Every structure is written in structure tokens, then in C-alpha cells.
Structure 1
Amino acid sequence: MASISMFLILSSLLLSSSHSLPDQQGFDVRQHLSTVTRYDFVKDVAHTKSGSGDIPDQCTPIHVNLVARHGTRSPTKKRMRELDRLASHLQELIRDAEDRHSSIQKVPAWMKGWTSPWKGKVKGGELIRKGEEEMYNLGIRVRERFPDLFNEPYHHDVYPIKATQASFILVYFAVARTSASAVAFGMGLLSEKGTLGQGRHQAFAVTSESRASDTILRFHDCCENYKVYRKSREPSVEKFKEPFLDEITSALVSRYDLNFTRQDTASLWFLCKQEASVLDITNQACALFSPSEVALLGWTDDVEQFILKGYGNSLNYRMGVPLLQDVVQSMEQAIKAHEEKHSPGSYEKARLRFAHAETLVPFTCLLGLFLEGSEFQKIQSEQPLELPPKPPQSRNWRGNIVSPFAGNNMLVLYSCSANSSSKYFVQVLHNEQPIPMPGCHDYGFCPFEVFKERIVDPHLKHDYNTVCTAKQAPPQDPQTSKLLLPFRWLFSWGNNDAQSNKVEL
């Protein structure tokens, strides 16, 4: 074990300095939209100090696992209807201001007569052009980063590409964004590798499991206990957000002399996120909010993700154990093929998966990423965690970094020369950047056996069927019940019923 430690020291990764909100002069709201942030605005955020992600020369990659969220998409039909309602209400507010003989000079010019850019649109939630480009360019960068892994002629058993299944029960395009993302990625990965057309395109397969039984990429859809937990927690999360929305609503009323409601503020924030990420418009809805208000609104979105999909309850990520098992199994198969010197093209070199934030966020938690201080040890002993610190305090858990559009985790398996006591190592790249693993003493280059023992095995004691289908009351482990304690003093602030403002992924 001593030689492993010496090897780890050579490749150690230090935690990056926390991401703080830029001053107003250099502020770009498109970098601060929680999980609605476009990938290009955050993909270059380093999680380590410069040079600390270097791989020793004697190590070569032999397999890669990719778990990626779909690219930037349009708003869903439900959200488009919300924006239509907002458009009508904004005109009512302006007429009301005129009836009160209030000066409407404070009212932003864009708001007068504003209609939703998605008005009349029949379908929503589909991958937009920017999302296609995100995934296509990601595919190109992955191939360029690991040329030796992607030098074989394409075969679906060597480079399996998997996506969550589209459902015709729902509006088709609302969920086909994952398979569209997989196709765009594959086109980039295999660009100029085939013989079709002037672009030398390569035909490839994208496979999906049945939506009703996909416990690897759609575990959240198959986990009955999680559905119960989420439904029971959503009202308290909305209640938690109320005082912060009220605070910002009061500021907006004073600033623009319009009688905004809490729901107006929530809808305007949603509009800001859609305008900025989808349309690159930052001088309308987003301009209503100051940078500090954007930070506060982004934090409330992050807290929602934390509670309903992240570290807020261990069920959120334990239901993702089948995915973690699948990742480790693929690594073990790659090691076996490498040890037995299988011929090139006869074994899998990469397993490429495309899903939603409901998949990426729990998987990130299973790896123990974006924790504060000693929180990894708390998770190992199943102790509760605190909420992500409120702005202006810095925090590691940020939706724009954890799960932006096209956000991803790549687990790269390396084979190293035999002069080390460990021949195989794992590196985690989050959004293509090396990231320390708390379970591996904050190193970013972890012996495979240590990765299994300290990060993977503690989760494997939780069986998916037991976690998800055992007849029991809604999960109320100590982690969740104590986590909600900090909310209680906040709940007394808001006396109105919680407004519906769910984050749609």
C-alpha cells in the first residue's frame, strides 16, 4: 500500500478554489443559470490547480465510461404555457400601473407588448441547434483526447452508444433529446471515419432499454420509493423558496413600480434562464435582476436539486447503484481483455451513455464529488449534510457546474507499467476537467482497487430492489430529516400557499 501512496502523491489533485460570483462589471448571467446553463460557458472551469491533473507517462488509457446529460433544449410545453400566461399578466400589470397614474417610465421597453418567443409552438423540450453543437463538439474532443481508444473501425460492441428511451405516452420530442444528443455526439466522435457522402459519415447504432425497466439510465422512473419521496418533498422545497422569492419580488416592485407577485418573479426568472441559454438574450428578463439576485435565485435552484436529486437524501443516489455497477463491470471486463491480450477490435473500448440530469446528478453523488470538507466521511457513515451555503458564501454544489446542459462525467481507466504495485488507475473527468475524488484522499488518479474499495463498495451494500420497491413509509433517514431542520425558521416567513415552480430537466 505504501507504493500506491507514493504513486498517488505524484499524481495528487488539490481542490480548486471555490467559484465566486464575478463583480457586476464582468458579470455574464449565462454562466449563472444553475442547471439551465449552457455547456460552453462552464466546461473550462478547472476543478484542480494547474498541472495537477497530469497523467504519468507510463500510463495509457484502455477504457472510458461516459455518462452525459443531453444538450441545451427548448422549454417544454408546460413551461411554454406558463410564459404565455406571464405575457398576458405583464400587460395587465402595465395597464394597472397606468390606471394608478404611476409613471411607466420605469417599465422596461421590451415588456410593453411582449409575447413569448415560443407562442403558438406545438411541441417543446427538443434539442436545439446549440445543443446539437455541444454534443457534436464534445464527441470530437473526446476522440482527440483519447486517440488510441478510438482508433478502431466502428463496431457497436467496441463503442456501444446508449440513450434513454423516448416515450410516445408523452410528447415525443420532450424526451427524444437524449437520443438526439447521442446521435450528435456520435457524429462528432466518428466524423470523417466512414464512407458516406462528402463528409465521410459513419453509420452507428444508438440503443435504448425499455423505459419501464431501465434501471441503469432511468432508475428514477423505476424507483417507486423515490417517486413517493419526491412527491412528499416538493411542497416543502417550494415553501423553502418563498421568502427568497418574496424578498426579490419586493425589490422588483420598488424598482419598476409594477405589482409583481411571487409567481411573476419565479416566471421571470425562468424566462431569464430560457432567453439567456436558448436565445442568447440577456438584456430583457435577466436585466431585471441584479447579480446578487441572480446568485440568490440560482442558489434556490441549487438547493432544490440538492434535496430532490442530490445529497439531500441518500435514496436520491442509492437508486443509481445499477449504473455504478455497470460502470465498474465494464472496467473489469476491460482489465480482463487487457490482461488476456485480446486482439484489437474484439473487446469494448468505450461505453457511452446519454440521459437526463436525473441520471447525471445522482451518479455524481455516487462518486462523492462536489462535497464540502469532511462531508464524504459523513456520507460514508450516513450522517446528514448541511444545505449548500447561501450566497455570498462560496459553495462547491453549483448546478451550473454539477449538471449544466451537456454536463458529463468520464471515468477513464488507465493501465500503468508494472513497477507500481497497482497496474490500473481511474481518473474522473467532470465536464472534461480532472476532479479530485474525496474517496481517494482527494487525489485525482486513483488505484482501481482503492476506487472500488472506498468509493464503489460502500454503495453496493444497498440493493436497488430493496431501496426502491420494499414496502415501507416514504424514506425518512436521519440525513433527510436533519437536513430539513434548517428550513423551519424560513417557513414561518411565508404565509401564502407554495407556488408551483418545478425545475424541469
Structure 2
Amino acid sequence: MLSVLTSVVFAVLASRRGCSPADVPDFAAHFGSKTRYEDSRAYRRLLAEPAAVDRSLPRVPSGERCSPVHLTAVVRHGSRYPTVKNIRAMRQLSDLLRTASPSPSPSREDGERSAAWRRDVLRRWDMWYTEDMDGQLVPKGREDLRQLATRLAVSFPSLLGEESLRAGRVRVLTSSKHRCVSSAEAFQEGLHLSANVTLAVRYRHQVDDGLLRSFDSCRGYVEGVEKNRTALAEVYKFKRGTEMEALRKKVADKLGLPHRGLTPDLLEAAFFLCSYELAIKSLHSPWCFLFDREDAKVLEYKCDLKLFWKRAHGHAITLAASCPLFHHVFRSLDKAGRPRRSGDTPPEPASILIGHAETLLPFLGLLDLYKDETPPTADNYQSQHARRFRSSLLVPYAANVVLVLLDCTRGPRLQMLVNEAPVRFPGLPEEDAPLYRDVRAAYRHLLDGCDFHKECEGATGGRGPNTEL
């Protein structure tokens, strides 16, 4: 929390900028995987109306009658506390500000206040994060999942409504991590609220790390990427590159610190403090005044490089490690779409899978989405401003991929939503909801292949770029 003096000073600074402490930084959509869902893309409408839904869903061909029969959603957990690693870096930064001898302020002021004044404000900031928080879900994170569940239930009441809940037919699987289990509970709470079910919530979820953290058991991934520094060579190069070095010196000057004192990791810790204060407390933190939008884009790119080369398209083994989830999703769709006789049990209406950014990114990769023609590297930042692979847009807190199977006149169709927005399948760009058989044919090479055990127990090389699976 801010001390009384710091709060007063910050309020003065905020008033000079024409905003209040509750306002959102103008670069809030550039926090990478630490971006709030409502700040991502067009979802800023949720700031004003958390229950806002797209009333045009599902989108089906004109003149064709369709009804939803099954929904599978792969969902990231909600807003969380920092992990122990981040908390230690934050504490180190806070200690540095309190103990380091200030360097002379630069001769040209950066516009608002002297470095000494700014440093004094941040010295008085209370380092309130503790290691026992370690990535746990925060109250805002529970609300993220409740609101997402409510919106999906409004869009698909026949699948996520009262009848499905009372019958216990909404299946929920979750990663074993505490933040995911708490998110699974919150999602179910949201469904009950939306359906006006007066019964106490009876949580029905199962832990399945084999699906939602399959990368942990993929030896090829763990040895070839996770523990292989050369797999992230582009990240380390950018970390010491021109853009990051210029930003590091700029922020050090703003804090009145010697350049050598503010390491790249501590620079990132300052940026994370801005993002966490916003995500956890809806606070425009004084840490945010160290950065502008162009600075945030540099740090966002560093995050994107790490996620691309560690969790997404960068290495084929990373995508192969997600094959169990890919196969599970399509098996669920296959089962729901099979012809049934009148006496057969109706298909399971919904399957909710709660995981991590590391769960969603390789799944999106297997779907062949958000893959740029030129991959991001340490040397091409300036040409990557229009890149499709932006973690701030793809995997903010509570990010989701929803696949809705529709029973239509011409046969089953499949509608895909990414963060609640319709997205067309690669190779099938003409329709929002193509025939399911066409979608399946587009991914036949993965459905008939994509052998997790073969890929994960084979060679562990993670150095080369991604190749087709």
C-alpha cells in the first residue's frame, strides 16, 4: 500500500495529468501476459459493462437453421499475485531505491518532476508483496472468471444454463495449480449466478495436468527448450540489445540511479509492479509514471519473444507437447457430433478446461493461428509492430478459446471464438462456422498424427525453428 504522504503526492501528480489514481495507464494494453482481460483489444467495453456480450453469436450461414449442441472452452486463470521470482526482483528493486546513492540528475528534466522527487515517492512505496502469495488468484481474478462464465452462459443458455447445471453435466477440468483450481471454482460460481440457481454451489471439477500441463511431462520439451538456454537465444540477445539498453538508461535517469544499478531484470520488475498494481488493485500506480507507451511496447516485445520461443511457434516440440489437449478437444467434438437415436443420452453440453498461458499458446499454435510470416527476433523489433503474435491480445488474464459445435441443416458446424471474438479457421476463411467435417479435414495431419509420446521421448533438440508437425 502507499503511505499517506506518497498517496497525497501521487494524487497531485495524477491531477496534473488530468486523471485520478483509479485511471488506467494509456499503455495498459501492452503488459504482455500480465494484461487485464478488459484492457485487451476491443474488450475495453468491459470496463463500463462487464456483462457485455456479442448478441450475434453464434454466426451461421444465412437461411440455415442451427442450434448449439456442445461447447468446449480452454481458459486461462484470472488475475493473480506475482510469482516468488517476480516478488524477489520487486523487493530487490525496492531495496535498491532505498539504499543506493543517487546519481546526479540529468541536466534536462524529463517533463514533470525531478528524478530526486520521483525516487523519493517510490522509496516510500510499501513493498507489500510476500512470497507466500506466489501466483495465487486474487479477488479480481475470481471476478474475471465469474464474469466470463456469465457472458458465455448468456450467449449459450442451452448449454450452460440451469438445466445443465442441475444435472451436473458441465464438465470442468483444471490444472493443479492453486490459481487454476480457484478459477475453476469461480467459473462455476458465475454459471450459478447467471442461471439464478438458488442452491449452494457444489463444485464439480477434476485436476488433469496430463491435459493442461502436458509440457511438464514432455522430456523433449523440458530438456530441449525449458532447460536449454540456447532455445531462448533471441530473448537474451534482445535483453542486452539497443532498445532495452536505451530504456534501461532512461528509467535509471528517471530514478536518479547509476545506470549499472538498474539491471534489465530490475527494469522489468518496475514494469511488472505497474501491471500488478493495476490488475490486483485497479490502481494507476506511481511505478507506471516511469514509462510511456513506446517504452511499454519494448517491454511487451521482450515478453512476446520469450513466449514465442518458449511457449508457442518457436520450436516444434513446444507444439507437440500440447497434442494431448488438441486430441482431447476434438474427441469431445466428435462425440457430441455423432448421429444419435431417439433414446440415446444427449451429448455433454459443455467442457471447461482451466489452465495457463502456457496451455493456450501452443493450442493456438496447433490451430495454426497468429503465426507471422517472419518470426520475431532480437534484431527485427522495428519491423514487428504489426505482428499478429502479441501476448497482450492473445493471453491476457482469463483468455479463452471457445469451440461451439452447432447442429445445422447441412450437418454439424463449428464456430471458434478467441477471447469471445469470432475467428475463422485457417484454410477455411469464407465462413464463420464452417462444416465440422471441413474443419476436421483441415487438421487431419494433427488428428491422425501429432504423437505426444513419439515426439516427447525422441530427440531433445530445441534449437531449431518450428517445423510442421
Q: Give the structure-2-normalised TM-score.
A: 0.81
- Is residue 42 of structure 2 the alignment partner of residue 54 of structure 1? no
CA distance in 1, matches of 2:191, 2:55: 27
Matches of residues 189-208 of structure 1 in structure 2 within 5 Å? 189-191=191-193, 199-208=198-207
Task: Determine the structure 2 residue equivalent to 1:492.
Answer: none
Structure 1 unaligned residues grouped into runs of 5+: 1-24, 166-174, 376-384, 481-505
How many Å apart are 1:306 and its aligned residue?
A: 0.8
Cα 1:77–1:478 shift into 2, 3 Å = closer
Equivalent residue pairs, number: 418
Matches of residues 350-499 of structure 1 in structure 2 within 5 Å? 350-372=350-372, 375=373, 385-387=374-376, 390-391=381-382, 393-417=385-409, 420=410, 423-441=411-429, 443-458=431-446, 460-470=448-458, 472-479=459-466
Return 59-68 or 443-452, whichever deviates more: 443-452
Q: Is the 8 A contact 1:29 1:286 kept in 2?
A: no
Give the counterpart letter for 1:164 in structure 2.
S
Matches of residues 85-484 of structure 1 in structure 2 within 5 Å? 85-93=92-100, 95-97=101-103, 105-107=114-116, 108=118, 109-118=120-129, 120=130, 122-151=132-161, 152-154=163-165, 158-165=169-176, 175-191=177-193, 199-209=198-208, 211=209, 214=210, 216-230=211-225, 231-232=227-228, 233-234=231-232, 237-243=235-241, 244-260=243-259, 261-263=262-264, 264-336=266-338, 338-342=339-343, 346-372=346-372, 375=373, 385-387=374-376, 390-391=381-382, 393-417=385-409, 420=410, 423-441=411-429, 443-458=431-446, 460-470=448-458, 472-479=459-466
Moved over 6 A (4+): 49-53, 98-104
CA distance in 2, matches of 1:242, 1:110: 28
Cα 1:177–1:27 shift into 2, 3 Å = closer
Over residues 105-139 of structure 1, what are the superposed CA-to-partner deviations in whole Å (9 max), with x where a residue is unaligned?
A: 32314223333121x45332111011000101111
Cα 1:101–1:128 shift into 2, 3 Å = same
Over residues 193-243 of structure 1, what are the superposed CA-to-partner deviations in whole Å (9 max), with x where a residue is unaligned?
A: 586xxx53331311113x4xx1x2111111011011222124552233221
How many Å apart are 1:278 and its aligned residue?
A: 1.9
* SS of equivalent residue, structure 1 residue 160: strand
CA RMSD of aligned residues (A): 3.1
Return 151-160 or 324-333, whichever deviates more: 151-160
* SS of equivalent residue, structure 1 residue 411: strand
Over residues 281-333 of structure 1, what are the superposed CA-to-partner deviations in whole Å (9 max), with x where a residue is unaligned?
A: 33411210121111111111111111111111121112211111111111111
Structure 2 unaligned residues grouped into runs of 5+: 1-22, 45-53
CA distance in 1, matches of 2:195, 2:105: 66
Over residues 1-20 of structure 1, what are the superposed CA-to-partner deviations in whole Å (9 max), with x where a residue is unaligned?
A: xxxxxxxxxxxxxxxxxxxx
Task: Determine the structure 1 residue equivalent to 2:3.
Answer: none
Q: Is the 8 A contact 1:138 1:185 kept in 2?
A: yes
Give the counterpart letter for 1:97 in structure 2.
S
Q: Is the 8 A contact 1:163 1:182 kept in 2?
A: yes
Give the counterpart letter for 2:375 in structure 1.
E
Q: Is the 8 A contact 1:69 1:405 kept in 2?
A: yes
Q: Is the 8 A contact 2:277 2:285 kept in 1?
A: no
Q: Percent identity?
A: 24
Q: Give the structure-1-normalised TM-score.
A: 0.75
* SS of equivalent residue, structure 1 residue 479: coil
Cα 1:409–1:473 shift into 2, 3 Å = closer
Q: Is the 8 A contact 1:245 1:262 kept in 2?
A: no
Task: Determine the structure 1 residue equivalent to 2:17.
Answer: none
Q: Is the 8 A contact 2:79 2:398 kept in 1?
A: yes
How many Å apart are 1:343 and its aligned residue?
A: 5.5
Task: Determine the structure 1 residue equivalent to 2:87.
Answer: 80
How many Å apart are 1:177 and its aligned residue?
A: 0.7
Q: Is the 8 A contact 1:45 1:433 kept in 2?
A: no
* SS of equivalent residue, structure 2 residue 389: coil
CA distance in 2, matches of 1:239, 1:288: 24
CA distance in 1, matches of 2:258, 2:334: 61
How many Å apart are 1:92 and its aligned residue?
A: 2.6
Q: Is the 8 A contact 1:67 1:355 kept in 2?
A: yes
